[in-house]
């Protein structure tokens, strides 16, 4: 199941900057927002490649940024195999780097691995990388299909991710 997220305070992180590129992962954050809003994750016959609740979430973030006089754009990856930001191709990563050069910051909507993908991609651009979400657990839900083509997550529970202790060399 998808990773579940809590929102982070992006607005305080963007203070003093004039532009930001929003880089969303299209799977886990979209599922999180759909569950939180109690809306369908996808509507197959309306918007096959987008999650309406997540698109609204991104528009709201852009409005909040605009109020703070930060211009923003969303870096899109609409192909299914590139929905998971943490598994982008080298070509998609190069494309991000090219676009990021035009912005002061990149806001990542995704997990730690997605953030690492973005950080590696934009490393030489001088962009500030801002995490927009933090991992809260893993969703355990029932996937449902409702006519006329709505895909939803129901009976959702958030399962904490168990923390593994790594023994440092020399510790008992």
pLDDT at 47: 67
Interhelix angle 52-67/28-37, nearest 10 degrees: 90
Beta bridge partners of 108: 23, 131
Residues 6+ apart with CB under 8 A from 29: 5, 54, 109, 110, 133
pLDDT at 152: 87
Give the predicted TM-score (pTM) of the model. 0.87
Percent with pLDDT over 70 in the chain: 89
- Give the pLDDT confidence of 43-76 residue by residue, as tens digits: 777 766 788 999 999 999 999 999 999 999 999 8
Specify the pairing of strand 105-109 against strand 128-131.
parallel
CA-to-CA distance for 152 and 65, rounded, in angstroms? 29
pLDDT at 78: 63
Per-residue pLDDT of the chain (172 residues; tens, 9 = 90+): 789 999 999 999 999 999 999 999 988 999 999 999 999 888 777 766 788 999 999 999 999 999 999 999 999 876 655 678 888 889 999 999 999 999 999 999 999 999 999 999 999 898 999 999 999 999 999 989 988 888 888 899 999 887 643 433 444 4
Q: Are 134 and 3 in contact (CB under 8 A)?
A: no
């Amino acid at each position: 199941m998808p990773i579940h997220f809590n929102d982070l305070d992006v607005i305080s992180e963007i203070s003093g900057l004039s532009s930001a590129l929003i880089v969303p992962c299209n799977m886990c954050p979209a599922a999180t927002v759909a569950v939180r809003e109690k809306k369908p994750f996808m509507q197959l016959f309306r918007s096959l490649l987008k999650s309406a609740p997540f698109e609204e979430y991104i528009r709201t973030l852009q409005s909040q940024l605009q109020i703070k006089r930060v211009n923003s754009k969303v870096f899109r990856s609409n192909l299914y195999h590139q929905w998971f930001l943490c598994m982008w191709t080298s070509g998609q990563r190069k494309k991000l780097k090219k676009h990021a050069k035009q912005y002061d910051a990149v806001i990542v909507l995704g997990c730690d691995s997605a953030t690492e993908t973005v950080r590696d991609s934009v490393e030489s651009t001088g962009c500030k990388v801002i995490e927009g979400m933090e991992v809260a657990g893993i969703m355990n839900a029932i996937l449902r299909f409702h006519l006329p083509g709505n895909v939803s997550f129901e009976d959702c529970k958030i399962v904490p991710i168990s923390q593994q202790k790594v023994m440092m060399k020399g510790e008992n």
